[in-house]
Amino acid sequence: MDGLEDGKGLYFLFVKAETRTPSGLVARPVLTSYYNSDWFRRQAEVPSNRYTSPMETIVCPDSTESMYCQLLCGLVQRHQVVRIGAVFASGLLRAISFLEKRWPELVADMGSATLCGSAVTDPAARRAVEELMLKYGGGGGGGGGAEEVAAECRNPSWHGIIPRLWPRAKYIDGIITGSMAQYVPALDYYSDGLPLVSTFYASSECYFGINLTPLAPPSAVTYTLLPNMAYFEFLPAGGNENQEPKVHDLIDLVDVEIGKEYELVITTYTGIFS
């Protein structure tokens, strides 16, 4: 797609609180580690990866405040947004639901170019958002500001609300297969038919594979496994449901047969398997 490097991505990305195991080891989700890493910060500076959300809003520990900040930043820069997404389809729909409930507050903050109320208490996130709003004047970064957003949100129908609020958006990005496929009709409704792009499939353990035909419709998406990401084995499906699968039932990638179904078994480089 042309023009993707001329704008920014509105992606809803969140961290979760760390916990400690009984032995004192730090435990946290893999995405939390990723978003807090120097690697992610460097990638966010690449033109094709630029986000509307300042880093302080992504790593804000309060998910509600983080959502408010990321939506507000996306609305203030709405004429720069060329792609919209979340890790999973459900995350983007949570953002739309949040917008439906909180748009009057967001519009008020856009109009004043400051955070008027107590929606955001995290000092770093608050400072980053207010600096961004001052930079863009609360007006959408090039035509159309708070009143335009309010007019769209007041409309009784939210069909196509995504391209109405972000008119330069070219596609929706996020995992839309597997258990996420149930959200495709809702995404189609809110996006008014924008392409739904599912570029990869992953879990906390590792990345499984990538989609080599990203513009394929959701029903036709397939993923090419990346055998260097983990050790993949395959458990033939359709066996005896009352019998636990045995290790000797597992087969390697080279022995997979076309037309048959398998459950994927993963062993990571650290020895974790699932």
Write the pLDDT tens digit of every residue in 119-146: 999 999 999 999 999 888 654 444 448 9
Estimate to the nearest angstrom the gap between the alpha carbon of 69 and the chain centroid: 15
Do 175 and 233 belong together in one domain? no
The predicted structure's pLDDT at residue 139: 46
**Could you tell me if residue 167 is inside a domain?**
yes
Has residue 192 been placed in a domain?
A: yes
List, for residues 224-240, the tens digit of each pLDDT value: 999 898 999 999 987 55
Are 182 and 235 found together in one domain?
no
Same-domain pairing of 42 and 139: yes
Q: Specify the pLDDT at position 243.
A: 59
Contact criterion met (CB below 8 Å) for 253 and 237: no
Residue 207 covered by a domain = no
Residues 188 and 70 in one domain: yes
The confidence score (pLDDT) of residue 173 equals 95
Give pLDDT, residue 144.
47
| Same domain for 141 and 258 | no
Phi/psi of residue 26, each to 5°?
A: -75, 135
Output the pTM of the full model: 0.86
185: left (phi over 0), alpha (psi -120 to 50) or beta: alpha
Measured in degrees and rounded to the nearest 5, phi and psi for residue 114 equal: -155, 165
Query: What pLDDT score was predicted for residue 103?
Result: 97
Domain end call among 179, 198, 217: 198
- Answer yes or no: is 210 within a domain: no
- pLDDT for residue 49: 81
Q: Nearest Cα to 119, choosing from 103, 138, 143, 96?
A: 103
Contact (CB, 8 A) for 179 and 154: no
Instruction: Assess whether 129 and 27 both reside in one domain.
Output: yes
Other Cβ atoms within 10 Å of 95 Cβ, number? 20
The Cα–Cα gap between 167 and 229 comes to 37
Residues 169 and 258 occupy one common structural domain: no
pLDDT tens profile 177-212: 989 999 999 999 999 989 999 998 887 778 889 999
In a domain, 272, yes or no: no
Residue 250 within a domain: yes
pLDDT along the chain (274 residues), means of 10: 78 90 85 88 82 95 96 95 95 97 95 90 96 75 73 96 97 93 96 93 83 92 90 82 66 91 86 69
Q: Are residues 185 and 60 in the same domain?
A: yes
- Are residues 184 and 255 located together in one domain of the fold? no
Could you tell me if 52 and 162 lie in one domain?
Answer: yes
Q: How far is CA 85 from the centre of its chain?
A: 5
Same domain membership, residue 244 and residue 144:
no
Total structural domains in the chain? 2
Domain presence at residue 216 = no
Domain that holds residue 154: 4-198
CA quadruple 125, 48, 139, 93: dihedral positive or negative? negative
Is 233 in the same domain as 176? no
Would 138 be classed as within a structural domain? Answer: yes
